[in-house]
Amino acid sequence: MIETKNINFYYGDFHAIKNISMKMEPNTVTAFIGPSGCGKSTFLRLFNRMNDLINNTRLEGECLIKSKNIYDKSIDVDELRKDVGMVFQKPNPFPKSIFENVAYGLKVNGVKDKKFIAQKVEESLMAAALWDEVKDKLHKSAFELSGGQQQRLCIARALAVAPSVLLMDEPASALDPISTSKIEELIHQLKSNYTIVIVTHNMQQAARVSDKTGFFMMGELVEYSDTKKMFLNPDKETTQNYITGRFG
């Protein structure tokens, strides 16, 4: 589904991603772990070209999604981002109603059929396990929701445009434990339909939700294997040290 080939990424002179090649299979959850500043978020944001927004950056290597290099000149970035959804660290709903938040992606992509939009909004909210909580107040401001609900709304918003990949950048780091477990549960359910990549600083979370885990340090991919193996019996000593909490 996603494949990177010898990716190097620079912020100005700073070498942030060092020669990373990896593959992610469809309908799996891949977790990126590592100490803060290790490049895991930067690497994630390469998959929907979010780093394009930052001035003075440079990329080498290839990133293939569905076997197409997304940094090829022929790629329409907006189309790419429609297919590769993203959920951010802090819930960031728009200052609009709950309904409008979910409908936003459809509307900007030219969908005008109101019935279709309403149906998609409902489906997405259901898929994000939020429908029952908000169905009576769809036209209230999204800011009236709790933090956890807001984050699930953001997931619903991402699902509404029917992506095939879902990128999650520490989606639960700003949430309380109960909201976090709801998000994790949700990730489990979404796995059957989407390819999910999640960045997290919480190792238990990685262990709970992911099939495969990549451990990053100082811009390098130190180890990448099945989550079970990674947590029980890692190949590298650094991984072992990190997982057992000796640093980071």
Partner 1 sequence: MIKKISNIVIKQLLTVSGAITGIAILFISIFLFKEGIGFFNSPAVEKGYSLYVHASNPINELSSKEIKEIFDSEITNWKTVGGNDEAIKIFRIDEIFQKYSEEELGKDYQLLPEKLGEEIKSDKNIIAYIPQKYAPTLTKGIKVLHIKHLTLSDFFLGKEWLPTATPSPLFGVMPLFLGTLLVSILAIIFALPLGLGVAIYLSELANEKIRKLLKPIIELLSGIPSVVYGFFGLVVLSPLVQKTFHLSVGETALTGSLILAIMALPTIISVAEDAMRNTPRAMREASLALGATQWQTIYKVVIPYAKSGISAAVVLGIGRAIGETMAVLMVTGNAAVMPTSIFNSVRTIPATIAAELGEAPAGGTHYQALFLLGCVLFLITMVFSIIAEIISKKKNY
Partner 2 sequence: MNKKIKQNIAFFVFRLFSLLIVGVLISILGFIAINGIQVIDWEFLTTAPKEGMTEGGIFPAIVGTFYLVVGSLIFAVPLGVMSAIYTVEYAGNGRIVRFIRMMTNNLASIPSIVFGLFGMALFVNKLGFGDSIIAGSLTLGLLTLPIIIRTSEEALKAVPESYRTGSYALGAGKLQTIRKVILPSAMPNILTGIILSVGRVSGETAPILFTVAAYFLPSLPDSIFSQAMALPYHLYVLATSGTDVEASRPIAYGTALVLIMIVLFFNLLAAFLRQRLNKKLKQH
> Which of 25, 72, 78, 185 lies at the binding interface for partner 2 (CB under 8 A)?
78
> 2-11 and 57-65 as β-strands: parallel, antiparallel, unpaired?
antiparallel
Find, among 83, 122, 85, the residue nearest to 102 by Cα: 122
Binding mask of the shown chain, residues 21 to 60, with x at each position contacting partner 2 by CB under 8 A: ----------------------------------------
Q: Is 113 in the site for partner 2 (CB under 8 A)?
A: no
> Which of 17, 44, 65, 105 lies at the binding interface for partner 1 (CB under 8 A)?
105
The partner in contact with residue 53, picked from partner 1, partner 2, none with C-beta cut-offs of 5 to 8 angstroms by kind, is partner 1
Sheet containing 57-65: order of strands:
14-24, 2-11, 57-65, 68-69
Identify which of residues 53 and 178 has a Cβ nearer to partner 2 in the complex. 53
Residue 64: helix, strand or coil by DSSP?
Answer: strand
Strands (DSSP E) found in the chain = 2-11, 14-24, 29-33, 57-65, 68-69, 84-87, 165-169, 195-199, 212-217, 220-226
Binding mask of the shown chain, residues 41 to 60, with x at each position contacting partner 1 by CB under 8 A: -------x-x--x-x-----
* Beta carbon of residue 78, minimum distance to partner 2 (angstroms, whole number): 7
Q: Is 161 in the site for partner 1 (CB under 8 A)?
A: yes
